[in-house]
Chain A
Amino acid sequence: MEKRVIFENKILPYFLLLPQLSIVFIFFILPGAQALVLSMFREDAFGISREFVGFENFQRLFADPNYLHSVNITFIFSISVMILAMSTALYLAVMADRVIRGNNFYKTMIIWPYAVAPVVSGVMWMFLFNPIVGIITYTLEQFGYKWNHSLNASQAFLLVVIAASWKQISYNFLFFLAGLQGIPDSLIEAAAIDGAKPGTRFWKVVFPLLSPTTFFLIVMNVMYSFFQTFGIIHQVTSGGPNQATNILVYKVYRDGFIGLNLGGSSAQSVVLMIIVIVLTVLQFRFLERKVEY
């Protein structure tokens, strides 16, 4: 799509683009390229000498059990958050879509946690599950269940999944509700006339029609749990205990920024970059399909 009416000027457009492009170049492309280059080099601990090693950093990375463990738990984390946040949101959205009175009240109440930062969500759930002062911990204890996520790996994992999902419900809810409201009533009425019960109508008519939204949200939820949950992990568990919550984005931070392993961290960055590229392509694919509906 192009504009028919344009302005003639040889220099002005470059001036207009200059601020955006210089930021893009200095803070995005340059460091991105640097990560690519560094991933092929090995640097000594003092950063004095640098040796070209080709794909050795990657070979090492994928032979490292700690890294494979991190890949593994990132996938489990991501799928858990996706299922928990999406199914809850879909259920609530279907209910909110049915409601005539009070619709706006419910909508506002469910949407606003979107504005809560991941790290704040982490602080809240960490407080609720704090082994000493946490109110949920106290309640669990009354039932004879001991909770201490700084020692118990599966409890720590569960806690970050809860904190991450809680925050993501609002985002999914917003898009599911928009998707539901875009489905013509006539289709549902037709199914009802044919004798389909509410449950059947949902699974045979509404859910298939919602699939573009669902696919789009799957991609966005993966993106979210891979990259935007850094604050939650950093606050709640710092990747622990015993690496149980050391997801990829936290590992790249810890190895690079605290461990100062330049080559290895850059190789990790490159792997993450490839994941983002794949997800971005998928995101735009599904968006095109969404328009067709």
Chain B
Amino acid sequence: MVERNPALTILTHTVLIIGVIIVLFPIYIIFVASANPLAEILDAPMPILPGKQILENYYHAIIRGAKTLGAPVSLMLMNSTIMALGIVIGKITISLLAAFAIVYFRFPLRQVCFWAIFITLMLPVEVRILPTYQVVASLGMIDTYAGLILPIIASATATFLLRQFFMSVPDEMAEAAKIDGATPMRFFLSILLPMSRTSVAALFVILFIFGWNQYLWPLLVTTSERYYTLLIGINRMLAVGDQQAEWHIIMASTMLAMLPPVLVVVFMQQLFIKGMTESEK
């Protein structure tokens, strides 16, 4: 800061506090609703302080779920976790291998392979909904974990980020490994992989958020409640038609759906920022 001006400092903090309140307000209200009985929420205005029913609501949501949906949140949490981890691990694994091949080998069609991966950036699910669904359906992967995970694990972002990192690894590393008689895979597993752990960790954080928050794709490939992810489940709980939505259960489920990715951002903020700023380069 160039000058010290108390009035300006107070203004700064005021603006920031208002900003934080705007950002937090909706979440706070959701939390309040998740901790009150349904009757209190329906009786407008709804309370602005958490009530006594917090444990019951969450217990109820996790064990039984909403009446209109035959799946408890525990099952959907598990599905979301499987999908998110499957996407993260899948993306990182195949991108590590691809980046290694592109950086450390010379072979015909190398540029073609590189561009094929690049093209995925231009083909998000949103622009090829129907044909992708048909491919997945013809492979019999509707209502399977493979169907939820496999079609989205190609990753240009992860491949580029790792490629960039591999390019920055000193040539002497590979040279020394070659002189010592290491095979390419030995070099990859014993030297390159351990050196990449910060990049991989940063990727893990942003890809976990990406994977957990998938919505359009699970919406298409899950028709059975058995495979609903939590986000899909919440959408279904709200689709009650003429019946009364069970707001207390839905809001508890929403809090639970938010928790894992938010915890990842809050507790791994450094890695998150690194992943965000580097993957966009």
Residues of A bordering B, CB below 8 Å: 1, 3-7, 9-10, 12-14, 16-17, 19-21, 23-32, 34-35, 38, 88, 91-92, 95-96, 98-100, 102, 106-121, 123-128, 132-133, 135, 138-139, 166, 169-171, 174-175, 178, 185, 188-189, 192, 198, 201, 216, 220, 227, 230-231, 234-235, 249, 252-253, 256-257, 262, 265-266, 269, 272-273, 276-277, 280, 287, 291
Please give, as numbers and ranges, the residues of chain A lying within 8 Å of B120 by CB-CB distance. Answer: 24, 28
Of A26, A106, A124, A273, which one neighbours B254 at CB under 8 angstroms? A124
A/B interface sample: 10 pairs, CB < 8 A? A24-B154, A28-B154, A92-B19, A95-B15, A117-B257, A124-B29, A133-B44, A170-B23, A253-B129, A272-B127
Please give, as numbers and ranges, the residues of chain A lying within 8 Å of B44 by CB-CB distance. Answer: 132-133, 138
Residues of B bordering A, CB below 8 Å: 1-3, 8-9, 12-13, 15-16, 19-20, 22-24, 26-27, 29-30, 33, 41-42, 44-46, 48, 93-95, 97-98, 100-107, 110, 113, 116-117, 119-124, 126-136, 150-155, 159, 167, 171, 174-175, 178, 184-185, 187, 209, 212-213, 215-216, 219-220, 231, 234-235, 238, 247, 250-251, 254, 257-258, 261-262, 264-266, 269, 272-273, 276-277, 280-281
CB distance from B241 to the nearest CB of A (A): 13
B104 touches A27 (CB 8 A): no
A23-B153 contact, Cβ under 8 Å, with A6-B104, A110-B23, A269-B127: yes
CB distance from B15 to the nearest CB of A (A): 5
B154 touches A235 (CB 8 A): no
Main secondary structure of the interface of A (DSSP, over half): helix
Please give, as numbers and ranges, the residues of chain A lying within 8 Å of B105 by CB-CB distance. Answer: 6-7, 9, 12-13, 16
Please give, as numbers and ranges, the residues of chain A lying within 8 Å of B29 by CB-CB distance. Answer: 124, 127-128, 135
CB distance from A265 to the nearest CB of B (A): 6
User: Which residue, B101, B167, B212, has most C-beta atoms of chain A within 10 A?
Assistant: B101
CB distance from A205 to the nearest CB of B (A): 11
Whole-angstrom distance between the alpha carbons of A88 and B123 in the complex?
30
Of A5, A100, A126, A227, which one neighbours B126 at CB under 8 angstroms? A227
A4 touches B171 (CB 8 A): yes
Of B98, B121, B126, B276, which one neighbours A16 at CB under 8 angstroms? B98
CB distance from B12 to the nearest CB of A (A): 5
A31-B135 contact, Cβ under 8 Å, with A133-B247, A230-B126, A252-B126: yes
